[in-house]
Structure formats: C-alpha cells, structure tokens
Amino acid sequence: MSREHALAIWNAAVDVVRPAPLVRAALEAERAIHTAPRVLVVGAGKAGPGMAQGLEEALADRLDRVEGLLNVPAGMTAPLKRIRLHAARPQGVNEPTAEGVAGAEDMLRLLQSAGPDDVAVCLISGGGSALLPAPVEGVSLADKLAVTKLLHRCGATIDEMNCVRKHLSRVKGGRLAEAFRGKRLVSLIVSDVVGDPLDVIASGPTAPDPTTFADALQVLRKYELSRSTPSAVLRYLEAGSNGRHPETLKTIPASVENRVIGSNRVALDAAKRKAEELGYRVLDLGSFVEGETRHVATAVAGVVRSIKRGGVPLRAPACVLLGGETTVTLGANAGKGGRNLEFVAAVVAKLGAELEGVTVLSGGTDGEDGPTDAAGAVADAATLAALAEQKITADDFVQRHDAYYLFDRVGGLIRSGLTGTNVMDVRVIVVQ
C-alpha cells in the first residue's frame, strides 16, 4: 500500500501543474486580451501543447482573432485550431536545431507585425531555452552549441551558461519582448528553475537581464575556455563588451508582464495535501533542493533513519517531500540513468536493510529522466528482496551511474510518458 500511496502523492503533484487549466485561470481576468483586434501567441517549452490548448479554451468565443506558434519537441500534439505547434527538436535530444531557429524567426516576425492595439501572449515552460534558438548575426548555431557544450562539460552553473547564451541570442535576455510592437504582452510561465527567477527560465525571453557582455567573457575566462571557444563567439562577445552591439534588456516596458502560473512549489503543496489526506504527517523540505544527487540522497536517508529510530523530526506514519533539481557528475564510463533514478538507487544503497517499511520515489514532473523512457523510480522492501535474489547491490549501479538498468532488473521504473508539464522534480519518501 505504501508504494501506491507514494505514487498517488506524486501524481497529485503533477496533476496540479497541468498547463491547460493554469492558463485558462490566468486569462480569465485579462480584459485587454479579450477585446484586442489580434492576439499573437508565441513561446516554447515542453508544456506548450497544454498551454496553447488552455489559451484557445479561454478565448473560445474569439478564436478568429488568435494566431501564433509555439516551439515544442517533435511528436507533441494538442487539438488546436489557431495556434501552430512547431517541432523544434526531436524528443529526447535537448539541443537547439535549425528547425528551432526557423520557429523563433517566425515568432520575431509575428511580434514585429503587431498593430498598436494588438496584444501578445508568450507561453513559456521547461526546456524553452533549447527550443527557442536564434543566434545573433555572425554566430552560427553550431558555434553556439559548441560553447554551450564546453560550459556544460566544465561544470558551469545554469546562470553562467545562460549569461553566455543570452548574449548570443536574438530572443533571449528580453529580446523577444523587445520585438513586440503592440499594446500589451503577457508572459505566462510554468517554471522549471529553482526559485523561479524570470531571467533564467528559458533564458528570459521576456524578462530583463542583469548580466552583461563583460560578464559573459568573464565566464569563459573563469573556466579557461577562451582558446577552445569558437572564434566567432569570442569576436561577438568582445565587440559587445566594447559597445559595438546592443546589450540585453536591463528593464522591460510597462506594457510587458511576466507571471509564473505553475512551479515546483505549487506541485509540492498539492503533494502535501494528498499525503495528509492519506493520513501521513508531512515534512516538506521545500523546492530549493540542489546539489549532487548522491549527496542529497545521503542527507535524506539520514532523515529517514531519524524518523524510524527516534520519531524526529516527526513520527511515523510520515511523508518526506522535497523538490528542486539535483545534478549528476558523470564519470568517463557512465551507464544509463538520470538524477531521479540515481537518487532512488542511492537512498536504497545508503539505507540497506533499513529500507524495510520505507518507500522512496523520485520523478521528473515532465515524465523524462535523463536519456531514458522513465520519469524516475520507486523502491521499497520488494526492491531489497529482488536485489538479494539476483545477488546484486544498488551501490554498484550508483557508482556506475547506471540506475536505469538497476530498476529495469528489479522493477520500479515509473513510465508515466510525457506529462505535458515540467516543474522540475518531486521526491516522495513514505515511512510507516
């Protein structure tokens, strides 16, 4: 029963951030949108189909005024009448493509065509940064992808990578909003970033950017990448630093509004309500969880031990919740997995026999965990029995970053399919 409870709690978290109802509710009071001669729709992200569907439902009596497109992963569909879903990248390949550039350029042209009384709605969700590429003149998509990979390999933070990417883009760092010529632009955002910073989500296409060309160059120097960075990238950033290219937007017009309508915090609140409904005392560790996955797993395993042995910080039956998004530092011969799969495997390895009476679940709310077909995994005492029967240990798979094959062997993969939303990860630990 504990495994079923953990899955029910996780599903409650995902269901509350389904994008269509979030968008419908957000647009109910937007009088300017309901009376505009044209409503231009742009944006990108994994929640794009559901967000577009919610918008069309909210404006069902005036759909003839709606036009636009969203960049989404290939294969994503929705029953839409006026908004086009543009396949900007293959599923499972989180990199910008020429198709994504074509879609972004169509969006720029659409926003630039706005009349003085037209309004725009920008729909942004997780994965939007890779789905919305538009390199600056003189820098190719291959150049931009190359520097992104260099930054990723050397361990640059998301803020550092975005700083560089925004200064090589015609849409990021507020430039999508800058292209709009109409009366009002509302950006509705389903956040996949810890803390919901507007300038980081999808690299902030409608938000002000506090970083500069000089900051971008400093990131490359910090990681000693100046020599390996494509020459076109360096030339552009240096020219920008010397004032020969316009900076990203530092303020946005009063006619532009950014509104976060779905987030990890919203999902955790729903998970807490469901857990309490099922009779659990809840310890909510919040949505700001970051760091190396195995280290977070070790800390959570310690909390579980404390609950089991001393009833601290709360007595069983207990449910520990945590959100955010951790990272996995891969070795040279890494196996197959993702941060959610590795988290569950690492907790199993750390608790050992103390997993008895405990269910551990971790899943990406988008239904994808790394390069796998699983959202994550769930483990309990049945996992211990399967490990013993097959004479294998969870720790071996953790060390190889091969958690997908661990749970493929012992059971526990969560194959939810793409959920149509994305607000980072939700982890549920049930202690009986």
- Total domains, the chain: 2
- 256 and 296 in a common domain: no
Confidence at residue 383, expressed as pLDDT on a 0 to 100 scale:
98
Whether residue 160 lies inside any domain: the answer is no
Confidence at residue 95, expressed as pLDDT on a 0 to 100 scale:
87
Among all chains, which residue has been given the structure tokens 């990248």?
89
At 373, which CATH number?
3.40.1480.10
From first to last of its 432 residues, the chain has per-residue pLDDT tens of 899 999 999 999 999 999 999 999 999 888 889 899 999 999 999 999 999 999 999 999 999 999 999 999 999 899 999 999 999 999 777 789 999 999 999 999 999 999 999 999 999 998 898 999 999 999 999 999 999 999 988 888 878 999 999 999 999 999 999 999 999 999 999 999 999 999 999 999 999 999 999 999 999 999 999 999 999 999 999 999 999 999 999 999 999 999 999 999 999 999 999 999 999 999 999 999 999 999 999 999 999 999 999 999 999 999 999 999 999 988 778 899 999 999 999 999 999 999 999 999 999 999 989 889 999 999 999 999 999 999 999 999 999 999 999 999 999 999 999 899 999 999 999 999
At 30, which CATH number?
3.40.50.10180
- 301 and 254 in a common domain: no
Whether residue 82 lies inside any domain: the answer is yes
Whether residue 423 lies inside any domain: the answer is yes
- 314 and 184 in a common domain: no
CA 339 remoteness from chain centre: 13
- 253 and 320 in a common domain: no
**Other beta carbons within 10 Å of 153:** 11
Confidence at residue 8, expressed as pLDDT on a 0 to 100 scale:
98
Instruction: State which residues form the domain around 73.
Output: 18-134+169-212+247-262
- 256 and 287 in a common domain: no
Confidence at residue 406, expressed as pLDDT on a 0 to 100 scale:
98
**Other beta carbons within 10 Å of 32:** 14
- 198 and 185 in a common domain: yes
Whether residue 146 lies inside any domain: the answer is no
Amino acid residing at 50 = G
Confidence at residue 264, expressed as pLDDT on a 0 to 100 scale:
97
- 55 and 29 in a common domain: yes
Output b/e per residue, 115-147; b: 16+ Cβ within 10 A: eeebbbbbbbbbbbbbbbbbbbeebebebbbbb
Whether residue 81 lies inside any domain: the answer is yes
- 314 and 379 in a common domain: yes
- 292 and 190 in a common domain: no
